């Protein structure tokens, strides 16, 4: 059983999806139990895999039993870099599934079997992307994730969400094509699709490593992944797609799609081409860091300009992607930037989940789409507010939330590699986040037009000098995922030491460096 965890992880949601495809529209009440059972199985397998990797180190799973020679079959590989991401994906998907009792707009709620089928296919693909050790298999699963997410976005009832989905489809297809082209160039140059095999070849064979085709392959794959993760100049599809789609969809896509793409970038950098090759053969890693600086600043400034809550959160994602790309490309000797980027995948996944769940609750229960609609929020929904405030503080980077520690590691990487522009951008972005969230907290606490001179911090206990505002009931299935995610933010921050030590096991340059604080 334990041997089969890598396959069970990917297959449980696939079988769930097929089951829903077969019998889902007989009885819509079957949907949620099937989704919960298959994602629960995946979570169990992901945690089991994590424990196995902790105990024995990396685990390889040879599909079809094709073990020798390496590269004829497809291998799944779980190591200390991807098992935390797998657990994150499983946990987030399970929480969103609980949250999504009525996924689509009223008009499309009769399509919930199809909605949940796509939901599970997306989870299957995200697990598969994260665990595969084969460059082409990664492309196939990226396609599955892309097609199912187009459907999940387009199911919303409004017209503009169909247009957003069309934009997303075009950009997503371009991104996937770039990645595929890059894989083709790479295969022509090294004759292998297996990630560890390619890395061995590039490390040992100078002719292959210095080939222009391999460099082109790297650039193409990288640009493809950047489009998928909405890295700064290529982010155009994201804000509309994530803010106009149903809340359950945005709560699933926003925390997972960009983060898994960042993981893919880190995997391609460390596990396919290798950091030595990247920092040895390419002279432009500083340029990428500067792009990241622009991404962080632009994302933050655009977020300031938004009136809609979800739009603002979308631009914050663009900034956060800048954090992670910049961190991964710092190239400091101790790999602290990469560590920060990997840690931030987990941290940002939880923060984004909490914020989008909260935004979904606001939109549904209060009809609040714009930030200005949130006045009196703290008294209307005290528990939801707690979760929202925790996530907001984490975005700003207040200890002991995980947002503080990811910034700590990223800044450490920035200082050690001498990339001061990146350090400054991170600090500016934290300030902007502070402005953004305290503005919301102020509206939530004092109402839309706060009296002059008040600079209260946005904690949830109100003083009650205004007329009593009626509480708005939030059902448990929406509240529980939000609070669990908020608890995850704090826990991930408190236990950052062991998590970071574990993540760093997979980083080649990190082994010689000092242990985590």
Partner 1 sequence: MNAKVSATIAVIITGAVLLYGVADFPDFGDPTSPANAGVEGGAPSASLHFINESYKETKVPNLVTSVLADYRGYDTMFETVVIFAAGLAIFVILRNLRSDDPLPEPLPATEDRFIDGDHQRIIVGTTCRIAIPLVQIFALYVVAHGHHSPGGGFQGGVMLGASFILVALGGNLRDALARLGEDTFMRLASLGILIYAAFGLVPQFLGRNFLDYGVLEKIFLTDGPEMARSHSMLGVEVGVALTVMSIMFAIFANLSSRGEMRGGL
- Does 154 sit near partner 1 (CB under 8 A)? yes
Write out the DSSP string of 282-296. -S-HHHHHHHHHHHH
- Does 378 sit near partner 1 (CB under 8 A)? no
Q: How many helices (H) and strands (E) does the chain have?
A: 21, 2
Phi–psi pair at 31, nearest 5 degrees: -55, -60
Of 344, 349, 434, which is closest to residue 398 (Cα–Cα)?
434
Q: Which is nearer to partner 1, 139 or 388 (CB)?
A: 139
Least Å distance, CB 126 to partner 1, is: 13
- Does 124 sit near partner 1 (CB under 8 A)? yes
Q: Which is nearer to partner 1, 11 or 444 (CB)?
A: 11
Residues 132-151 that bind partner 1 (CB under 8 A): 134, 136-137, 140-141, 143-144, 147-148, 150-151
Q: Which is nearer to partner 1, 12 or 486 (CB)?
A: 12
Interatomic CA distance for residues 288 and 300, integer angstroms: 18
- Does 114 sit near partner 1 (CB under 8 A)? yes
For partner 1 (CB under 8 A), the number of binding residues is 76
Residues 277-336 that bind partner 1 (CB under 8 A): none
Residues 169-208 that bind partner 1 (CB under 8 A): 181, 185, 187-194, 197-198, 200-201, 203-205, 208
Least Å distance, CB 206 to partner 1, is: 9
Least Å distance, CB 166 to partner 1, is: 10
Q: Is the bond leading into 400 cis (omega within 30 degrees of zero)?
A: yes
Stretch of 113-121, 293-301, 334-342, 455-463 lying at the interface with partner 1 (CB under 8 A): 113-121
Read off the tokens for 399.
């200890």
DSSP H or E segment with residue 60:
strand 59-62
Least Å distance, CB 317 to partner 1, is: 23
Of 149, 143, 47, which is closest to residue 91 (Cα–Cα)?
47
End-to-end Cα spacing for the chain: 37
For residue 375, give the DSSP letter. T
- Does 213 sit near partner 1 (CB under 8 A)? yes
Least Å distance, CB 227 to partner 1, is: 12
Least Å distance, CB 445 to partner 1, is: 40
Interatomic CA distance for residues 1 and 353, integer angstroms: 31
Q: Which is nearer to partner 1, 194 or 406 (CB)?
A: 194
Residues 398-417 that bind partner 1 (CB under 8 A): none
Looking at the DSSP assignment, which residues form a beta bridge with residue 37?
none
Task: Answer positive or negative: Cα dihedral of 383, 385, 387, 393.
Answer: negative
Least Å distance, CB 398 to partner 1, is: 40
Q: Which is nearer to partner 1, 204 or 449 (CB)?
A: 204
Q: Which is nearer to partner 1, 74 or 484 (CB)?
A: 74
Is 473 exposed, middle or buried, given 0-12, 13-18 or 19+ CB atoms closer than 10 A? exposed
Residue count of the chain, please give it: 517
- Does 369 sit near partner 1 (CB under 8 A)? no
- Three-state secondary structure call for residue 75: strand
Read off the tokens for 504.
């760093």
Write out the DSSP string of 411-458. HHHHHHHT-HHHHHHHHHHHHHHHHHHHHHHHHHHH-SSPPTT-----
Least Å distance, CB 270 to partner 1, is: 18
40, 108, 399, 428: which one contacts partner 1 (CB under 8 A)?
108
Read off the tokens for 270.
């460390």
Task: Answer positive or negative: Cα dihedral of 362, 366, 371, 377.
Answer: negative
For residue 153, what are the contacts with CB-CB under 8 A and spacing of at least 6?
161, 164, 165, 168, 241, 244, 245, 249, 253
Q: Which is nearer to partner 1, 106 or 476 (CB)?
A: 106
Q: Which is nearer to partner 1, 215 or 286 (CB)?
A: 215
Read off the tokens for 180.
């595929």
Site string for partner 1, 223-262 (x = CB under 8 A): ----------------------------------------
Least Å distance, CB 101 to partner 1, is: 18
- Does 274 sit near partner 1 (CB under 8 A)? no
Read off the tokens for 321.
């992607």
For residue 371, give the DSSP letter. G
Q: Which is nearer to partner 1, 64 or 515 (CB)?
A: 64
Least Å distance, CB 284 to partner 1, is: 13
- Does 266 sit near partner 1 (CB under 8 A)? no
Interatomic CA distance for residues 96 and 84, integer angstroms: 18
Q: Which is nearer to partner 1, 146 or 318 (CB)?
A: 146
Task: Answer positive or negative: Cα dihedral of 462, 468, 469, 471.
Answer: positive
Residues 45-84 that bind partner 1 (CB under 8 A): 61-66, 69-74
Least Å distance, CB 114 to partner 1, is: 5
Read off the tokens for 496.
């950052």
Stretch of 15-23, 346-354, 433-441, 471-479 lying at the interface with partner 1 (CB under 8 A): 15-23
- Does 100 sit near partner 1 (CB under 8 A)? no
- Does 155 sit near partner 1 (CB under 8 A)? yes
- Does 163 sit near partner 1 (CB under 8 A)? no
Least Å distance, CB 21 to partner 1, is: 3
Q: Which is nearer to partner 1, 223 or 507 (CB)?
A: 223
Least Å distance, CB 302 to partner 1, is: 19
């Amino acid at each position: 059983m334990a041997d089969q965890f890598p396959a069970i992880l990917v297959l449980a949601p696939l079988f769930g999806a097929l089951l829903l495809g077969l019998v889902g529209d007989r009885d819509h009440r079957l949907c949620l139990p099937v989704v919960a059972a298959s994602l629960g199985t995946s979570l169990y397998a992901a945690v089991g895999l994590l424990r196995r990797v902790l105990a024995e180190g990396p685990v390889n799973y040879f599909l079809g039993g094709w073990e020798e020679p390496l590269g004829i079959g497809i291998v799944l590989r779980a190591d200390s870099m991807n098992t935390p991401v797998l657990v994150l994906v499983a946990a987030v998907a399970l929480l969103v599934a609980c949250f999504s009792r009525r996924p689509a707009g009223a008009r499309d709620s009769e399509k919930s079997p199809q909605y949940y089928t796509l939901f599970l296919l997306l989870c299957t693909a995200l697990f598969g992307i994260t665990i595969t050790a084969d460059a082409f298999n990664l492309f196939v699963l990226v396609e599955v994730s892309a097609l199912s997410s187009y459907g999940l976005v387009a199911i919303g009832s409004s017209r503009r969400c169909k247009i957003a989905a069309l934009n997303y489809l075009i950009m997503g297809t371009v991104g996937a094509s770039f990645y595929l082209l890059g894989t083709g160039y790479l295969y022509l140059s090294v004759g292998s699709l297996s990630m560890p095999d390619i890395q061995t070849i590039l490390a040992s064979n100078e002719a292959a490593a210095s080939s222009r085709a391999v460099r082109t392959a790297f650039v193409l794959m990288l640009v493809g992944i950047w489009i998928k993760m909405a890295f700064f100049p290529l982010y155009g599809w994201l804000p509309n797609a994530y803010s106009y789609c149903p809340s359950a969809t945005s709560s699933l896509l926003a925390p997972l799609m960009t983060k898994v793409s960042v993981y893919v970038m880190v995997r391609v950098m460390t596990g396919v081409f290798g950091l030595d090759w990247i920092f040895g053969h390419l002279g432009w890693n500083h340029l990428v860091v500067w792009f990241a600086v622009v991404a962080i600043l632009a994302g933050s400034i655009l977020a300031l300009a938004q009136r809609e809550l979800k739009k603002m959160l979308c631009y914050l994602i663009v900034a956060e992607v800048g954090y992670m790309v910049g961190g991964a490309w710092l190239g400091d000797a101790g790999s602290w930037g990469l560590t920060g980027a990997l840690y931030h995948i987990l941290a940002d996944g939880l923060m984004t989940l909490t914020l989008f769940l909260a935004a979904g609750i606001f939109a549904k229960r209060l009809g609040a789409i714009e930030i200005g609609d949130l006045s009196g929020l703290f008294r209307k929904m005290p528990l939801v507010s707690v979760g929202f405030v925790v996530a907001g503080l984490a975005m700003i980077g207040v200890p002991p939330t995980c947002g503080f520690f990811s910034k700590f590691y990223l800044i450490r990487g920035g200082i050690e590699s001498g990339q001061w522009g990146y350090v400054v951008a991170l600090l500016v972005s934290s300030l902007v986040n502070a402005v953004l969230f305290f503005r919301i907290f102020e509206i939530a606490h004092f109402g839309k037009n706060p009296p002059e001179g008040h600079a209260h911090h946005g904690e949830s206990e109100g003083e009650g000098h205004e007329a009593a505002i009626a509480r708005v009931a939030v059902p448990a299935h929406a509240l529980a995922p939000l609070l669990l995610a908020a608890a995850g933010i704090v826990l991930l921050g408190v236990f950052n030491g062991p998590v970071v030590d574990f993540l760093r096991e997979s980083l080649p340059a990190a082994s010689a460096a000092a242990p985590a604080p």
